[in-house]
Structure 1
Amino acid sequence: MATGLDGRGVIVTGAGSGIGRAAALGFAAEGARVLVADLNAEGARAVVDEIERAGGTAVAVPGDLSERAVVDEVAATAVEGFGGVDVLVNNAGIMDRMSALADVSDAEWERVIRVNLTAPFLLTRAVLPHMLAAGRGAIVNTASEAGLRGSAAGAAYTASKHGVVGLTKSLAVMYRGKGIRANAIAPGGTRTGIVVDVEQGTHGPAALGPHFVNVGRLAEPEEQAAAIVFLASDAASDINGVILPVDDGWSTV
């Protein structure tokens, strides 16, 4: 079945590296026009250059998506450049320190929740009016194995990704009659550049240790991206409200 992505306007956050980069390249390969949003300006520009060298269309918007001004710039740039937003991929995220709840600082909690949950809320809210006006749209969020269980990360990250799961399901219910679909992937271990700053000797890492025995193999970013592109495409036209584990079966253990 055709993906229907040719010529579509797509926003991918966290697209300067890892899963986001792979997703941006995947959408561009299907003929979509891609806005590459990332905190790392150099990384975002490199991905745009890669897409343009392959004959695609892309634009970079660097900045911290936990800031409202950056969110507004991303949405406005996509609408002005692409004539609208057909697909939104909320992929940008950060890890916590695997901290148990009693050890989570205010700063750790607020930063993780702000980046992982509030930023997707803000950007989705910004693009929804444009999708509603068009009568169509696909939203794909990057949740996590930590959004399906309590044993895959610290308290802050786990709460943030459970929140992403809830946000996805709420969107699916609220807007399914408006031509808008919302789904999420729940990646397991994936080979990216993210480094977890674990505070050794604290309760969280010690308690979580045994739960990583059956994590399975590390996925490549392109495997996660393939699921994202599929969920955003016309090939998934009747899939809505799904949280899709991409985790080598870790969620079944």
Structure 2
Amino acid sequence: MPSKKNKLAQYPSLQDKSVFITGGGTGIGEVMVTRFAEQGAKVTFVDMAQEKSEMLRANAVGLYRHDPSFIYCDIRNIEALTGAIEQTREAQGDITVLINNAADDTRHALEEVSPEYWDDRFAVNLRPCFFSAQAVAPHMRRAGGGSIINMGSVSWRIKQIVMPAYTTAKAAIEGLSRSLAGTLGQDNIRVNTLIPGWVMTERQMTHWLNPDIVNEVQKDQCIHKTLQPEDIVSAALFLASDDSAMMTAQSLIVDAGWT
């Protein structure tokens, strides 16, 4: 019997594309690295989870048309982030797919947030999205176009109460995407927001969830199944490919009908 993997779409336009993914070492990002590599793309990813990232890279050697590359990077350090982008350009050519996936949804109470903590949350969850887009825009112009995918969140849409700095940053992501889409559209550069529902990654399951919460979320969804990273990555592949060539300034929600 054919596997589910064999039934998934292949996008010839992604073959040999230069792809840069932030937060690619774990969770949704880990699956993104693998699935883009399966498409024949040249993939470089950055992350702070060095051990897991190195393992992902090592396990992928020889499996795909191009071996994925890993660069350790704290994306709060914009100089390090733009340096990683330049290193990627030198190794695999101008970046034409950028996925701003890295984020930190650590819970925090309203009363406990200091100005310093607020700034740090934005330094992780919003600021790198702008500066990475700024850095790759010249690459995409030279290449005749490209796709920038900013990862959003349903958290602010459902009025989630346990992480106000995170939800505010994620709401701002959608405004940033639309602004960048207007700015860069003349260069055939598309910018969209991909918004996952509550995806059951290892981090979510070990930090925030228990079976009762999982069941409650499933009941509130139109499709009563647990979202997996693969569900989100399939949408990312579409947004990165030429199949979505006229799709920009949009927010694509993949949440099984939760919101």
Instruction: Calculate the TM-score normalised by the size of structure 2.
Output: 0.85
Q: Is the CA contact 2:144–2:187 (under 8 Å) kept in the aligned structure 1?
A: yes
How many percent of aligned residue pairs carry the same amino acid? 29
Deviates more, 1:89-98 or 1:189-198: 189-198
Deviates more, 1:123-132 or 1:50-59: 50-59
The residue correspondences of 1:6-45 to structure 2 (distance < 5 A) are: 6-45=15-54
Partner residue, 1:51: 60
1:125 aligned onto 2:134: yes
Q: Is the CA contact 1:38–1:64 (under 8 Å) kept in the aligned structure 2?
A: yes
Q: Is the CA contact 1:96–1:108 (under 8 Å) kept in the aligned structure 2?
A: no
1:180 aligned onto 2:183: no
Deviates more, 1:145-154 or 1:185-194: 145-154
Q: Is the CA contact 1:145–1:152 (under 8 Å) kept in the aligned structure 2?
A: no
Runs of 4+ that moved beyond 6 A = none
1:214 aligned onto 2:224: no
Amino acid at match of 2:179: S
Partner residue, 1:250: 258
Partner residue, 2:235: 227
- Figure out how many residues of one structure are paired with residues of the other and give that number: 238
Partner residue, 1:75: 85
Deviation by residue 1:157-214 (Cα, 9 ceiling, x = unmatched): 111101111111111111112110011211111111325878xxxxxxxxxxxx9672
Shift of the 241–153 alpha-carbon distance from structure 1 to 2, 3 Å rule, reads farther
Deviation by residue 1:8-63 (Cα, 9 ceiling, x = unmatched): 10001110011001111111111000001111122222222233231332211112
In the alignment, the residues of structure 2 paired with residue 65 and residue 6 of structure 1 have an alpha-carbon distance, to the nearest angstrom, of 27
Give the SS at the match of 1:250.
Answer: coil
Q: Displacement of 1:122 after TM fit?
A: 1.6
Q: Is the CA contact 1:6–1:30 (under 8 Å) kept in the aligned structure 2?
A: yes
**Greater RCO (Cα-Cα under 8 Å, separation 6 or more):** 1
Q: Displacement of 1:224 after TM fit?
A: 0.9
Amino acid at match of 1:219: L
Q: Is the CA contact 1:32–1:57 (under 8 Å) kept in the aligned structure 2?
A: no
Q: Is the CA contact 1:15–1:36 (under 8 Å) kept in the aligned structure 2?
A: yes
Q: Is the CA contact 2:73–2:84 (under 8 Å) kept in the aligned structure 1?
A: no
Shift of the 176–153 alpha-carbon distance from structure 1 to 2, 3 Å rule, reads farther
Q: Displacement of 1:152 after TM fit?
A: 6.4
Q: Is the CA contact 1:40–1:63 (under 8 Å) kept in the aligned structure 2?
A: no
Partner residue, 1:201: none
Amino acid at match of 2:51: E
Partner residue, 1:208: none
Q: Is the CA contact 2:11–2:39 (under 8 Å) kept in the aligned structure 1?
A: no
Amino acid at match of 2:230: E
Amino acid at match of 1:141: N
Q: Displacement of 1:118 after TM fit?
A: 0.6
Amino acid at match of 1:36: F
In the alignment, the residues of structure 2 paired with residue 197 and residue 19 of structure 1 have an alpha-carbon distance, to the nearest angstrom, of 16
Shift of the 148–135 alpha-carbon distance from structure 1 to 2, 3 Å rule, reads farther
Q: Over the residues paired in the alignment, what is the CA RMSD in angstroms?
A: 2.1
Q: Is the CA contact 2:43–2:69 (under 8 Å) kept in the aligned structure 1?
A: yes
Shift of the 96–177 alpha-carbon distance from structure 1 to 2, 3 Å rule, reads same
In the alignment, the residues of structure 2 paired with residue 48 and residue 62 of structure 1 have an alpha-carbon distance, to the nearest angstrom, of 12
Structure 1 unaligned blocks of 5 or more: 199-210
